[in-house]
Amino acid sequence: MAAMANCAVVSHLAPKEKLASSSMEVAFLGLPLHNHGQRAVRVASKYISSCSNSNCGSQALKCQSMAHSIRANAVAAPVETMKSAEEKKTSTKSVCIITGASSGLGLATTKALVDSGEFHVVMACRDFLKAEKAAKSVGLPKGSYTVMHLDLASLESVRQFVKNFRSSGMPLDALVCNAAVYFPTAKEPTYSAEGFELSVATNHLGHFLLARLLLEDLEKSESKSKRLIIVGSITGNTNTLAGNVPPKANLGDCRGLSGGLNGVTSSPMIDGGAFDGAKAYKDSKVCNMLTMQEFHRRYHEKTGITFSSLYPGCIATTGLFRSHIPLFRALFPPFQKYITKGFVSEEESGKRLAQVVQDSSLSKSGVYWSWNNDSSSFENVLSEEASDEAKAKKVWELSEKLVGLA
């Protein structure tokens, strides 16, 4: 079984003792195992599913064949006909885009934000039907969310999503880069539409392009507390026990990233080494945390946007582990629940991420948030590599080239 330590226990310690959040972290069997101020928001002159706008390949076909009920929820009436009570309610809400909102943390956060009554959530998902079913499964009221197609493993899809979002007429008050893939048992790398190793392409490069393009939309937000959040992970932090379970995250001198992660003229791994799916995920999470800090350094003062990252806790039940071996998937949740006590339910993790989106006490920019077992939040300390300014600049500049921004 490939080694992985995604999840860790941070038990009842005072916040100060937790800064390194390491001493109580327990790997699985040692295995790789705001509240925004009220403001008027003009919501959609029309809500658009990018699927209905085509350009989504097979996804578009799937969408076209779907029942009218789904389309009806995703494509709303033009602004002059928006007279229903539900639409009036929506028009006073802030708007938050969440990538990968069709399951796990993203879905739970969508639910928490919608339940708060403060947010309309744009569920940016690669599988339109799955997202609609997920929204219904957690009881999201019609009109409280919009599903838009986004495949982070295609830079063209990212660009199309941004176009579709803009043409919806919705403002943008918060962006949550949450989606991720994890291939711990893969023997061979797989690749994105542009030929980048798939986990770094999805988790980092797709989000990097999305966040860069949507920065100007966030900047225009009238919200007093506009936020850009990139979900991190303890596994990328080698100042923790979990982060020290092999294979450890290590970007090295970024020669693989510099070469395009294509497995032909360069290694598929950021550090130039041999492919390792678990390490690729952890490396991508280091990129996520470095990117959040680089955004903060470059844009916080200029834009007033709060940039944050977080470790939501060990959500052992999510789809992230779908490609792990069955024994791991069976044992991981009970082990985290009853042995390490590091288990966090999807609902609880969603409340945590929703806090980072809307809680006024979590409005400080440049912070990597974590939570104690009593669910109180604290500013955590990142590993040496995940807080390395020179590396953050390098990853930023190399990523700009790969996604076509430089």
Ligand X SMILES: NC(=O)c1ccc[n+]([C@@H]2O[C@H](COP(=O)([O-])OP(=O)(O)OC[C@H]3O[C@@H](n4cnc5c(N)ncnc54)[C@H](OP(=O)(O)O)[C@@H]3O)[C@@H](O)[C@H]2O)c1
- Binding residues (CB under 6 A) for ligand X: these are 6-7, 99-100, 102-106, 125-127, 130, 150-153, 178-181, 202, 231, 233, 311-312, 314-316, 318-320
Q: Which residue is nearest to ligand X (CB)?
A: 104
Lay out the sheet containing 227-231: strands in order across. Answer: 145-149, 119-125, 94-99, 174-177, 227-231, 306-310, 367-371, 377-379
Residue 301 beta carbon to ligand X: minimum distance, rounded to whole angstroms: 27
Beta bridge pairs of residue 272:
none
Residue number with CB closer to ligand X (170 or 242): 242
Q: Record the tokens describing residue 283, joined without a space.
A: 């490396």
- Per the CB < 8 A criterion, the answer to whether 114 and 140 are in contact is yes
Q: How far apart are CA 330 and CA 313, in angstroms?
A: 19
Residue number with CB closer to ligand X (104 or 184): 104
Q: Record the tokens describing residue 158, joined without a space.
A: 């990212």
Residue number with CB closer to ligand X (7 or 270): 7
Residue 70 beta carbon to ligand X: minimum distance, rounded to whole angstroms: 15
- Per the CB < 8 A criterion, the answer to whether 164 and 48 are in contact is yes
Residue 400 beta carbon to ligand X: minimum distance, rounded to whole angstroms: 20
By CB atoms closer than 10 A (0-12, 13-18, 19+), residue 339 is middle
Residue number with CB closer to ligand X (272 or 313): 313
Residue 202 is given by DSSP the state I
Residue number with CB closer to ligand X (319 or 366): 319
Q: How far apart are CA 167 and CA 333, in angstroms?
A: 42
CA neighbor of 2 nearest in space, from 215, 184, 147: 184
By CB atoms closer than 10 A (0-12, 13-18, 19+), residue 58 is exposed
Q: Which amino acid is at 295?
A: F
Residue number with CB closer to ligand X (125 or 172): 125
CA neighbor of 175 nearest in space, from 208, 132, 200: 208
Residue 224 beta carbon to ligand X: minimum distance, rounded to whole angstroms: 27
Residue 39 beta carbon to ligand X: minimum distance, rounded to whole angstroms: 29
Residue 52 beta carbon to ligand X: minimum distance, rounded to whole angstroms: 18
Residue number with CB closer to ligand X (106 or 260): 106
Residue number with CB closer to ligand X (41 or 346): 346
Q: How far apart are CA 193 and CA 269, in angstroms?
A: 17
Contacts 24+ apart (CB under 8 A), 155-158: 155/192, 155/193, 155/194, 155/205, 155/206, 155/209, 155/403, 155/404, 156/55, 156/193, 157/55, 157/56, 157/126, 157/193, 158/206, 158/209, 158/210, 158/213
Residue 126 beta carbon to ligand X: minimum distance, rounded to whole angstroms: 4
Residue 81 beta carbon to ligand X: minimum distance, rounded to whole angstroms: 31
Residue number with CB closer to ligand X (82 or 107): 107
Residue 278 beta carbon to ligand X: minimum distance, rounded to whole angstroms: 12
Residue 381 beta carbon to ligand X: minimum distance, rounded to whole angstroms: 17
Q: How far apart are CA 148 and CA 45, in angstroms?
A: 15
Q: What are phi and psi of 223, to 5 degrees?
A: -65, 145
b/e burial code for range 42-57 (CB count within 10 A of at least 16 → b): ebbbebbbbbbbebbe
Residue number with CB closer to ligand X (100 or 272): 100
